[in-house]
Homo-oligomer: A and B are copies of this chain.
């Protein structure tokens, strides 16, 4: 929207930390950007960026302004969504932040189901860890988040929280796959591979092993979940994944999962959240509601 160009500019400057890079990002010359910013500051009566030779930084007033700017831009897309909604053809855009565990199965299923009903709704999925997700909510880069948290009070509004335990992931013909459910010590009869520290499931695993005598460091760590899958499929190694991100226990793929006995795993939670007090677009709120229902059914209290 035309009348928001100054706001987009201010947002870009705040994000990049420099007028010149913001100009490049907006396909304009630095002088144009500089002038718009200057005009806005003059109109406001206050500087909103502190200038330094290395770039610019928001000052106290700027922090208030950028909040207003981002909220206004978010409100604008919400307005468009609501208008489109009342003319029947539901279009819109939903921007999500989620943990990696939601990527392989859950979110694709939900999004494609939603898009089957509303093909004109577009999605943006960002994989974020818990802390980054909170920040993204705060500055309006995502409408909602679906993230795994192993504790701590989130500073966003939690729409739904469902408990999540771990599942062991292994090849379909793996000896462990004969059991319906596993104790953690059973898995350590085989080589254990795991995601790097920092991923939600890994933290949960560490805490599960805290006082266990059979605990050993994983024989392999990686930041690639693709690698974990491939490795598990080809060997007798075992890895772990949060329930919702694990392959279907009864699936027919190369790898399957078995739940770990709840006694062995301290409770982690999958949180569906949005920014406090934020009004979502029609599309976004419908989708969030969709997920909420789905999760509430899948994990009845």
> Which A residues are closer than 8 A to B by beta carbons?
1-4, 6-7, 39, 43-44, 46, 60-61, 64-65, 68, 71-72, 75-76, 79-80, 82-83, 86-87, 277
Q: Is the CB of A83 within 8 A of B6?
A: no
Instruction: Give the Cβ gap from A6 to chain B, nearest Cβ, in Å.
Output: 6
Q: How far is the CA of A232 from the CA of B239 in the complex (A)?
A: 90
**A75 and B83: CB pair below 8 A?**
no
A217 vs B79: C-alpha distance in the bound complex, in angstroms? 53
Contacts of A44 in B (CB 8 A): 80, 83
Q: Is the beta-carbon distance between A83 and B61 smaller than 8 angstroms?
A: yes
Tell me, in angstroms, the Cα distance from A86 to B60 when the chains sit together.
8
Say whether A68 contacts B75, CB under 8 Å: yes
> What residues of B have a CB within 8 angstroms of the CB of A68 in the complex?
75-76, 79
* CB–CB A75/B71 < 8 A: yes
A and B contact pairs by CB, cutoff 8 A, 25 listed = A1-B43, A2-B43, A3-B3, A3-B4, A3-B6, A3-B7, A44-B80, A44-B83, A46-B83, A46-B87, A60-B86, A61-B83, A61-B86, A64-B79, A64-B82, A64-B83, A64-B86, A65-B83, A68-B75, A68-B76, A68-B79, A71-B75, A72-B72, A72-B75, A277-B277
B83 near A39: Cβ-Cβ < 8 Å: no
Q: Are B79 and A39 in contact (CB under 8 A)?
A: no
* A75 neighbours in B (Cβ, 8 Å): 68, 71-72
CA gap between A39 and B7 in the complex, in Å: 19
**Which residues from chain B contact A65 at a C-beta distance below 8 Å?**
79, 83
A52 to chain B, nearest CB (A): 21
Q: Which residues of the partner chain B approach A6 to less than 8 Å between Cβ atoms?
A: 3
Chain B residue contacts of A80, Cβ below 8 A: 44
A44–B68 CA distance with the chains assembled, in angstroms: 21
